[in-house]
Chain A
Amino acid sequence: MALFFYRILYFLRESFKNVRYSLFLNIVSVFTIAVSLVLVGFFAFLLLNAGRFLDEVAQDLRISVYLNDDITPEQIDALALELRRKPEVEEIEVVTRAEDRRRSMALLSPMLLEGLDEQSIPAQASIEIGLKKRSLRRADIEEVDQWLRQITEVDAVDDALFGADQLRVLHAGIDLIQTAGLIVSMIILLAAVFFTFSTIKLAVYARQQEIEILRLVGATHRFIRVPFYLEGILQGLVGSLVALAILATMRNQVNSFVREVHLLNLEFELLPSHTLLLFVAGGVLLGFLGSALSISRYLRA
């Protein structure tokens, strides 16, 4: 029992010492793991957020159906009723001419409004349609596009603005990102594993003399191995934390870019919180397996 305790202490001390002794190799390994995980995480981020991006866009997406000035309240009600029945529609809001005028006036300064005839301010009645959040799949867009076209045919309707073309492009883009992203992230994942393993293998190779000496003084294989395992685990832990820090910075950059350049109020998630743990576990596994596989080559003979 006491022996076991001293061993544990020794292994821990040894692993930390090794990190210090082989600082450069350890930094290289940590860096490799971090870079690999950043690549994997970045693509996971893209894949996860591509769908979210569409949802966010859809949430803000409102269709305005502009009505002719001579439309009667009955016609408006009928139209509203028809629109409300569409499966893709979440909510509709009728904006009367008076309401539209009030909105316009709210935008103008009181000074300009002074002495102005209210009726001279241009105004147009409209129906604003909010679409359901999760109903902007490709088929939905075509559907919405089609019934909007039909509605525009009605005499009372002046025009309906939708932007189906932009949505189609967006869809195509996101489809591409998701398919390509999935393939690329598979390749990257494999490359990351390979890259990490080769680096750790080199790091262990650089220490094969140390391994040989330990064997000559009578160290058991387990005794030689365990510090390498712990070191690999530590490298994976630090590597994944570094990767997370890099990804978080990237996320913030993307968010402010989207906000400032594209004027979209979107918040991208880094990675869902339950995958954060998975991410760190992946890093630890990468470090551990890399060390375990590398060291086993030198302990076989």
Chain B
Amino acid sequence: MIQFYNVSKRYPNGVDALQDVTFELQEGEFAFLSGASGAGKTTLIRLILCSEKVSDGRILVAGRNTQLLRKASIPYLRRNIGVVHQDFKLLANRTVFDNIAIALEIIGLPRREIRARVHQMLELLHLENYPNELPPVLSGGEQQRVAIARALVNEPAILLADEPTGNLDPELSVDIMNLLQDVQRKGTTVLVATHDRALIERYSQRLLVLDRGALVADEKERLPA
């Protein structure tokens, strides 16, 4: 589903965020992407999304070479990828409901269906009490759940989560991890970027480790601690 071949990314300011990264993620697979802060996790996600251009190498998403995509096709690629951004990227002046609904508005679903699906997500993420709040008044954890709800509401083929539990207390973190595993069981390819070693050690899924832009480990089978 996601294939990286010798991918390097150098930002215009000369920082080498990724160097010669190669891995494959099968359809329906679940993997952690770990590494210290600044290791290149967010950069890797932005490359999959075509938010940044690859400096060298090749990235295939759902079998398509992202560098060869026409600019007009990028939105359609992104609709198949749910992303929980590290900084949430919520629309500050729209309600929680509208923030989640936007992922469905852009594909033109009827209002009635949008309402039904958004309410389902609100419940799933325990946000049913704040559909009309604006994100800035919510806590970090609540905002994170709104971001997760938006990423999942259109049932994307790929879910990329950048530090999805970073702002959650441990109990909620477990909830969210269970949710992400449920999503994977339904067939979604899931990549979870986190620098939280403790979290990773509680699960047995595949682990990709980045160190200063280089992929230093790819553990397919692990034993949970």
Interface residues of A (CB under 8 A from B): 2-3, 6-7, 9-10, 14, 17, 21-22, 209-210, 212-221, 223
Contact = CB atoms under 8 A, between A and B. Distances in A.
A215 B93 contact: no
Contact of A218 (B89, B92, B98, B103): B103
A10 B105 contact: yes
B89 A213 contact: yes
A6 B108 contact: yes
Given A217-B102, A219-B102, 7 more contacts: A3-B108, A6-B109, A210-B92, A214-B102, A215-B75, A216-B49, A216-B78
Nearest to A207: B93
Interface residues of B, number: 28
A137 to B, nearest CB: 60
The CB with the most chain B CB atoms within 10 A, among A7, A212, A218, is that of A218
Contacts of A21: 93-94
B111 interface: yes
A269 B90 CA distance: 52
A218 B106 contact: yes
B79 interface: yes
B41 interface: no
- Identify the 6 closest CB pairs spanning chains A and B, nearest first: A218-B78, A218-B79, A21-B93, A219-B106, A3-B108, A218-B75
The CB with the most chain A CB atoms within 10 A, among B51, B76, B108, B110, is that of B108
B108 A10 contact: yes
B83 interface: yes
B108 A213 contact: no
A235 to B, nearest CB: 17
A223 B90 contact: no
Nearest to B90: A213
Contacts of A213: 89-91
Nearest to B107: A218
Contact of B51 (A22, A216, A221, A223): A216
13 contacts: A6-B109, A22-B93, A210-B91, A213-B89, A213-B91, A214-B106, A215-B75, A217-B78, A218-B78, A218-B79, A219-B106, A220-B72, A220-B106
Interface in B91-119: 91-94, 98, 102-103, 105-111
B89 A9 contact: no
The CB with the most chain A CB atoms within 10 A, among B89, B90, B98, is that of B89
Nearest to A217: B103
Contacts of B107: 218
A219 B110 contact: no
Contact of A216 (B76, B89, B94): B89
Contacts of B103: 217-218
B85 interface: yes
Nearest to B89: A213
A212 B78 CA distance: 13
A212 B108 CA distance: 19
B120 to A, nearest CB: 18
A219 B75 contact: yes
Contacts of A10: 105, 108
B150 interface: yes
Contacts of B85: 216
Contacts of A6: 108-111
